[in-house]
Amino acid sequence: MSRRVSLVVPAFNEAPRMDLVLQCATESDLFSRIVVVDDGSTDGTAALAGEYPVQLLQHDRNLGKGAALQTGLHALHDPDVVVFLDADLTGLTPGHLELLIEPAIAEPKLGMITARFIEGRWIVDAQQRWFAILNGQRALTRRFLRILPDMSWSRFGVEVLMTRLARELDIPVKSVLWSGISHYTKEEKYGVLRGFGARLSMYWECLLAYGVYAPRVAGHLKALEDAGITKDGTLQR
Ligand SMILES: Nc1nc2c(ncn2[C@@H]2O[C@H](COP(=O)(O)OP(=O)(O)OP(=O)(O)O)[C@@H](O)[C@H]2O)c(=O)[nH]1
Ligand SMILES: [Mg+2]
Protein backbone atom coordinates (compact mmCIF):
# COMPACT_ATOMS: atom_id res chain seq x y z
CA MET A 1 0.00 0.00 0.00
CA SER A 2 1.93 3.02 -1.22
CA ARG A 3 -0.48 5.79 -0.19
CA ARG A 4 0.30 7.73 2.96
CA VAL A 5 -1.84 6.17 5.65
CA SER A 6 -1.69 7.70 9.12
CA LEU A 7 -3.09 6.38 12.36
CA VAL A 8 -4.50 8.39 15.28
CA VAL A 9 -5.13 6.62 18.60
CA PRO A 10 -6.94 8.65 21.30
CA ALA A 11 -6.14 7.39 24.79
CA PHE A 12 -7.49 8.36 28.18
CA ASN A 13 -6.11 6.27 31.05
CA GLU A 14 -5.52 3.24 28.84
CA ALA A 15 -2.10 2.09 30.08
CA PRO A 16 -3.30 -1.40 31.07
CA ARG A 17 -5.08 -1.97 27.76
CA MET A 18 -3.27 -0.34 24.88
CA ASP A 19 -0.34 -2.68 24.25
CA LEU A 20 -2.16 -4.73 21.63
CA VAL A 21 -3.19 -1.77 19.46
CA LEU A 22 0.26 -0.21 19.59
CA GLN A 23 2.02 -3.51 18.96
CA CYS A 24 -0.22 -4.42 16.06
CA ALA A 25 0.01 -0.95 14.47
CA THR A 26 3.76 -0.52 14.86
CA GLU A 27 4.65 -4.06 13.76
CA SER A 28 2.53 -3.85 10.61
CA ASP A 29 3.96 -1.80 7.77
CA LEU A 30 0.60 -0.20 7.09
CA PHE A 31 1.16 3.26 8.54
CA SER A 32 3.57 5.99 7.57
CA ARG A 33 2.74 7.90 10.80
CA ILE A 34 1.25 6.79 14.09
CA VAL A 35 0.08 9.45 16.51
CA VAL A 36 -1.08 8.63 20.04
CA VAL A 37 -2.98 11.44 21.73
CA ASP A 38 -2.93 11.18 25.51
CA ASP A 39 -6.10 13.01 26.53
CA GLY A 40 -4.99 14.22 29.98
CA SER A 41 -4.46 10.74 31.46
CA THR A 42 -3.43 10.36 35.08
CA ASP A 43 -2.05 6.83 34.71
CA GLY A 44 0.97 5.56 32.78
CA THR A 45 -0.58 6.02 29.32
CA ALA A 46 2.11 8.43 28.09
CA ALA A 47 4.94 6.28 29.45
CA LEU A 48 3.53 3.20 27.76
CA ALA A 49 3.06 4.96 24.42
CA GLY A 50 6.67 6.16 24.75
CA GLU A 51 7.85 2.55 24.55
CA TYR A 52 6.66 2.33 20.94
CA PRO A 53 7.86 4.10 17.78
CA VAL A 54 4.93 6.52 17.70
CA GLN A 55 4.51 10.27 17.98
CA LEU A 56 3.05 11.08 21.38
CA LEU A 57 0.94 14.21 21.86
CA GLN A 58 -0.50 15.14 25.23
CA HIS A 59 -3.39 17.27 26.43
CA ASP A 60 -2.54 18.77 29.80
CA ARG A 61 -6.13 18.11 30.86
CA ASN A 62 -8.93 15.87 29.67
CA LEU A 63 -10.70 17.41 26.68
CA GLY A 64 -12.67 14.44 25.35
CA LYS A 65 -12.35 12.06 22.42
CA GLY A 66 -13.32 14.59 19.73
CA ALA A 67 -10.55 16.96 20.82
CA ALA A 68 -8.07 14.07 20.96
CA LEU A 69 -8.84 13.09 17.37
CA GLN A 70 -8.64 16.73 16.30
CA THR A 71 -5.21 17.11 17.93
CA GLY A 72 -4.06 14.02 16.06
CA LEU A 73 -5.34 15.34 12.74
CA HIS A 74 -3.54 18.68 13.27
CA ALA A 75 -0.23 16.84 13.58
CA LEU A 76 -0.53 15.11 10.21
CA HIS A 77 0.77 16.56 6.97
CA ASP A 78 -1.50 15.99 4.02
CA PRO A 79 -2.25 12.30 4.56
CA ASP A 80 -4.11 10.29 1.91
CA VAL A 81 -5.93 8.24 4.52
CA VAL A 82 -6.33 8.63 8.27
CA VAL A 83 -7.36 5.72 10.47
CA PHE A 84 -8.92 6.25 13.91
CA LEU A 85 -8.54 3.35 16.33
CA ASP A 86 -9.59 3.14 19.97
CA ALA A 87 -6.76 2.22 22.32
CA ASP A 88 -8.64 -0.55 24.13
CA LEU A 89 -9.30 -3.12 21.40
CA THR A 90 -8.93 -6.85 21.95
CA GLY A 91 -8.31 -9.43 19.22
CA LEU A 92 -6.97 -6.87 16.74
CA THR A 93 -4.74 -8.23 13.95
CA PRO A 94 -3.03 -6.60 10.95
CA GLY A 95 -5.66 -8.38 8.83
CA HIS A 96 -8.41 -6.27 10.44
CA LEU A 97 -6.47 -3.12 9.64
CA GLU A 98 -5.93 -4.18 6.03
CA LEU A 99 -9.67 -4.80 5.64
CA LEU A 100 -10.35 -1.23 6.78
CA ILE A 101 -7.61 0.46 4.78
CA GLU A 102 -7.90 -1.45 1.50
CA PRO A 103 -11.18 0.15 0.31
CA ALA A 104 -9.92 3.60 1.33
CA ILE A 105 -7.14 3.15 -1.20
CA ALA A 106 -8.88 1.08 -3.87
CA GLU A 107 -12.13 3.06 -4.00
CA PRO A 108 -11.19 6.76 -4.12
CA LYS A 109 -14.84 7.80 -4.29
CA LEU A 110 -15.38 6.63 -0.73
CA GLY A 111 -15.12 9.22 2.03
CA MET A 112 -15.20 7.00 5.08
CA ILE A 113 -14.98 3.31 5.93
CA THR A 114 -16.26 2.11 9.28
CA ALA A 115 -15.60 -1.23 10.93
CA ARG A 116 -18.34 -3.19 12.69
CA PHE A 117 -17.45 -5.95 15.14
CA ILE A 118 -19.00 -9.40 14.62
CA GLU A 119 -18.45 -12.84 16.13
CA GLY A 120 -16.85 -11.34 19.23
CA ARG A 121 -18.81 -10.74 22.44
CA TRP A 122 -22.57 -10.61 21.81
CA ILE A 123 -23.19 -7.48 23.90
CA VAL A 124 -20.49 -5.50 22.12
CA ASP A 125 -21.55 -6.90 18.72
CA ALA A 126 -25.14 -5.84 19.45
CA GLN A 127 -24.06 -2.31 20.39
CA GLN A 128 -21.97 -2.13 17.23
CA ARG A 129 -24.93 -3.23 15.14
CA TRP A 130 -27.70 -1.12 16.65
CA PHE A 131 -25.65 1.97 17.42
CA ALA A 132 -23.41 1.78 14.33
CA ILE A 133 -23.40 5.58 14.14
CA LEU A 134 -21.10 5.47 17.20
CA ASN A 135 -18.56 2.92 15.93
CA GLY A 136 -15.08 4.21 16.68
CA GLN A 137 -12.87 2.38 14.19
CA ARG A 138 -12.82 4.36 10.95
CA ALA A 139 -10.71 5.20 7.92
CA LEU A 140 -11.18 8.64 6.37
CA THR A 141 -10.05 9.43 2.85
CA ARG A 142 -8.65 12.71 1.55
CA ARG A 143 -12.01 13.51 0.03
CA PHE A 144 -13.66 13.58 3.44
CA LEU A 145 -10.67 14.89 5.40
CA ARG A 146 -10.57 18.11 3.40
CA ILE A 147 -14.13 19.02 4.32
CA LEU A 148 -14.10 17.94 7.94
CA PRO A 149 -15.01 20.75 10.37
CA ASP A 150 -13.34 21.28 13.73
CA MET A 151 -14.40 18.36 15.93
CA SER A 152 -12.79 19.39 19.19
CA TRP A 153 -16.08 20.36 20.85
CA SER A 154 -17.79 17.02 20.27
CA ARG A 155 -16.35 14.71 22.96
CA PHE A 156 -17.98 11.26 22.54
CA GLY A 157 -20.27 12.78 19.89
CA VAL A 158 -17.39 12.80 17.41
CA GLU A 159 -18.65 9.75 15.51
CA VAL A 160 -22.16 11.21 15.37
CA LEU A 161 -20.64 14.35 13.89
CA MET A 162 -18.66 12.48 11.22
CA THR A 163 -21.55 10.21 10.28
CA ARG A 164 -24.08 13.03 10.00
CA LEU A 165 -21.71 15.17 7.97
CA ALA A 166 -21.06 12.34 5.49
CA ARG A 167 -24.79 11.77 5.18
CA GLU A 168 -25.61 15.42 4.70
CA LEU A 169 -22.87 15.96 2.11
CA ASP A 170 -23.58 12.73 0.19
CA ILE A 171 -20.12 11.39 0.93
CA PRO A 172 -20.12 7.63 0.25
CA VAL A 173 -19.47 5.49 3.32
CA LYS A 174 -18.72 1.78 3.43
CA SER A 175 -18.88 -0.62 6.34
CA VAL A 176 -16.51 -3.58 6.71
CA LEU A 177 -16.98 -6.44 9.16
CA TRP A 178 -14.30 -7.20 11.74
CA SER A 179 -14.62 -10.74 13.02
CA GLY A 180 -13.45 -11.91 16.44
CA ILE A 181 -12.65 -8.47 17.80
CA SER A 182 -13.92 -6.64 20.85
CA HIS A 183 -12.91 -3.99 23.38
CA TYR A 184 -13.04 -3.25 27.10
CA THR A 185 -16.38 -1.76 28.09
CA LYS A 186 -16.60 1.13 30.53
CA GLU A 187 -18.02 -1.21 33.16
CA GLU A 188 -14.94 -3.42 32.80
CA LYS A 189 -12.60 -0.44 32.99
CA TYR A 190 -14.14 1.45 35.89
CA GLY A 191 -16.37 -1.09 37.68
CA VAL A 192 -20.13 -1.55 37.24
CA LEU A 193 -21.48 1.60 38.90
CA ARG A 194 -18.87 4.10 37.81
CA GLY A 195 -18.71 2.47 34.42
CA PHE A 196 -22.46 2.72 33.92
CA GLY A 197 -22.37 6.38 34.97
CA ALA A 198 -19.60 6.99 32.42
CA ARG A 199 -21.71 5.16 29.81
CA LEU A 200 -24.72 7.41 30.49
CA SER A 201 -22.58 10.49 30.20
CA MET A 202 -21.11 9.15 26.91
CA TYR A 203 -24.63 8.66 25.51
CA TRP A 204 -25.55 12.14 26.71
CA GLU A 205 -22.58 13.59 24.84
CA CYS A 206 -23.67 11.70 21.71
CA LEU A 207 -27.24 13.06 22.00
CA LEU A 208 -25.90 16.54 22.60
CA ALA A 209 -23.72 16.34 19.49
CA TYR A 210 -26.77 15.21 17.53
CA GLY A 211 -28.79 18.15 18.86
CA VAL A 212 -26.23 20.90 18.28
CA TYR A 213 -24.84 19.47 15.02
CA ALA A 214 -26.77 21.80 12.69
CA PRO A 215 -25.87 25.13 14.34
CA ARG A 216 -22.31 23.96 15.00
CA VAL A 217 -21.53 23.07 11.38
CA ALA A 218 -23.64 25.75 9.62
CA GLY A 219 -20.77 28.27 9.44
CA HIS A 220 -18.37 25.60 8.23
CA LEU A 221 -20.73 24.46 5.46
CA LYS A 222 -21.19 28.06 4.34
CA ALA A 223 -17.40 28.52 4.23
CA LEU A 224 -17.06 25.39 2.07
CA GLU A 225 -19.68 26.73 -0.28
CA ASP A 226 -17.96 30.11 -0.47
CA ALA A 227 -14.67 28.36 -1.24
CA GLY A 228 -16.32 26.59 -4.16
CA ILE A 229 -16.18 23.16 -2.59
CA THR A 230 -19.24 21.16 -3.52
CA LYS A 231 -21.18 18.81 -1.33
CA ASP A 232 -19.10 15.80 -2.33
CA GLY A 233 -15.81 17.45 -1.45
CA THR A 234 -14.70 18.43 -4.95
CA LEU A 235 -13.80 21.92 -6.13
CA GLN A 236 -16.30 23.69 -8.35
CA ARG A 237 -13.79 26.12 -9.74
N1 LIG B 1 -13.52 7.50 28.41
C2 LIG B 1 -12.84 8.40 27.67
N3 LIG B 1 -12.16 7.95 26.62
C4 LIG B 1 -11.47 8.85 25.90
C5 LIG B 1 -11.50 10.21 26.23
N6 LIG B 1 -10.72 10.85 25.36
C7 LIG B 1 -10.23 9.91 24.53
N8 LIG B 1 -10.69 8.67 24.86
C9 LIG B 1 -10.38 7.41 24.15
O10 LIG B 1 -11.45 7.16 23.23
C11 LIG B 1 -11.54 5.75 22.98
C12 LIG B 1 -12.97 5.27 23.19
O13 LIG B 1 -13.32 5.43 24.55
P14 LIG B 1 -14.09 4.29 25.36
O15 LIG B 1 -14.24 4.80 26.74
O16 LIG B 1 -13.41 2.99 25.16
O17 LIG B 1 -15.51 4.31 24.68
P18 LIG B 1 -16.29 3.24 23.82
O19 LIG B 1 -15.44 2.07 23.50
O20 LIG B 1 -16.84 3.98 22.66
O21 LIG B 1 -17.49 2.89 24.76
P22 LIG B 1 -17.79 1.59 25.69
O23 LIG B 1 -16.69 0.63 25.59
O24 LIG B 1 -19.10 1.12 25.21
O25 LIG B 1 -17.79 2.07 27.06
C26 LIG B 1 -10.53 5.09 23.89
O27 LIG B 1 -9.33 4.85 23.18
C28 LIG B 1 -10.32 6.14 24.97
O29 LIG B 1 -9.10 6.00 25.64
C30 LIG B 1 -12.23 10.68 27.36
O31 LIG B 1 -12.31 11.85 27.69
N32 LIG B 1 -12.90 9.72 28.04
MG1 LIG C 1 -13.98 0.96 24.57
Sign of CA dihedral 23, 25, 30, 35: negative
Q: How far is the CA of 64 from the centre of ligand 1 (A)?
A: 8
103 with 110: CB under 8 angstroms? yes
23 with 48: CB under 8 angstroms? no
pLDDT at 3: 74
Q: How far is the CA of 234 from the centre of ligand 1 (A)?
A: 33
pTM: 0.95
Whether residue 62 has its Cβ less than 6 Å from ligand 1: yes
23 with 51: CB under 8 angstroms? no
Whether residue 39 has its Cβ less than 6 Å from ligand 1: yes
Domain boundaries, the chain: 5-226
CATH number of 5-226: 3.90.550.10
Nearest to 203 by CA among 140, 162, 159: 159
Distance CA 198, CA 206 (A): 12
Pocket test residue of 88, 155, 182 for ligand 1, highest count of atoms within 8 A of CB: 88
Ligand nearest to the CA of 13: 1
Q: How far is the CA of 12 from the centre of ligand 1 (A)?
A: 7
Q: How far is the CA of 4 from the centre of ligand 2 (A)?
A: 27
Pocket test residue of 20, 65, 131 for ligand 1, highest count of atoms within 8 A of CB: 65
pLDDT at 133: 85
Ligand nearest to the CA of 85: 1
Residue 140, class by beta-carbon neighbours within 10 Å (0-12 exposed, 13-18 middle, 19+ buried)?
Answer: buried
pLDDT at 233: 63
Whether residue 22 has its Cβ less than 6 Å from ligand 1: no
35 with 9: CB under 8 angstroms? yes
Distance CA 152, CA 71 (A): 8
pLDDT at 131: 85
Spans of the chain below 50 pLDDT? 237
pLDDT at 77: 87
Nearest to 6 by CA among 96, 141, 118, 162: 141
